[in-house]
Chain A
Amino acid sequence: EAQVTQNPRYLITVTGKKLTVTCSQNMNHEYMSWYRQDPGLGLRQIYYSMNVEVTDKGDVPEGYKVSRKEKRNFPLILESPSPNQTSLYFCASAREPGPQHFGDGTRLSIL
């Protein structure tokens, strides 16, 4: 089954404790991207990647890192999480520009 898998689905953690949200797709897609969704602010792109080792900043990259060492994986790294990064996060992939297949979302709470 074609899918984008994010883990964890839910996480409550504390300020400053490094965390990684994993994202994996099994469709051999070149394009992958990360988004956050906040009430009143809608959906905003954090980072995107057009292929292995090619990543670019989206609208809200501050406080986040990504890597694309393999085509299937695109982890989102919060090196020193802060409460303003409490949000719902989505990973996505596609064969062409623009997200088409989304993960189920990761709800992060940073205390």
Chain B
Amino acid sequence: AQKVTQAQTEISVVEKEDVTLDCVYETRDTTYYLFWYKQPPSGELVFLIRRNSFDEQNEISGRYSWNFQKSTSSFNFTITASQVVDSAVYFCALSGHGRSASKIIFGSGTRLSIRP
């Protein structure tokens, strides 16, 4: 069975600090996809990244970066120089391949608070 664990329920940091959100997953599939989503206090869901299991290169997008490590089944998300607008709940998610590529499970989320 597939599983996504976000052990950090809540994190609070001061603005401009770097912060890493952890995501550990379990799957028996050799091909799978990993995702991160953001849900700000306003409630909408925002897609951040989709990563194929064959692509272990780290990804950077502005202040956001993602570290995918197959050896530890982790897909961690780092925000550099955090800002108040980064305050949100962040979800990590996992899907399979083929017909199951669209069947997705989410972690329980990490609530990130950035204090000014």
Contact = CB atoms under 8 A, between A and B. Distances in A.
Contact of B43 (A45, A99, A105): A105
A87 to B, nearest CB: 13
A106 B28 CA distance: 34
Contacts of A31: 102
Contacts of B47: 98-102
Tell me whether chain A's interface is mostly helix, strand or loop, or mixed: strand
Interface residue tally on A, bucketed by range: 20 to 34
Contact of A45 (B46, B50, B91, B104): B104
Given A31-B102, A33-B102, A100-B50, A43 B43 contact: no
B33 interface: yes
A74 interface: no
Interface residue tally on B, bucketed by range: 20 to 34
A23 interface: no
Interface of A: 31, 33, 42-45, 48-50, 56, 58-59, 88, 90, 92, 96-102, 104-105
B95 A42 contact: no
A41 to B, nearest CB: 8
B64 interface: no
Given A42-B106, A48-B102, A98-B47, 5 more contacts: A44-B105, A44-B106, A58-B103, A98-B93, A98-B95
Contact of A102 (B44, B50, B109): B44
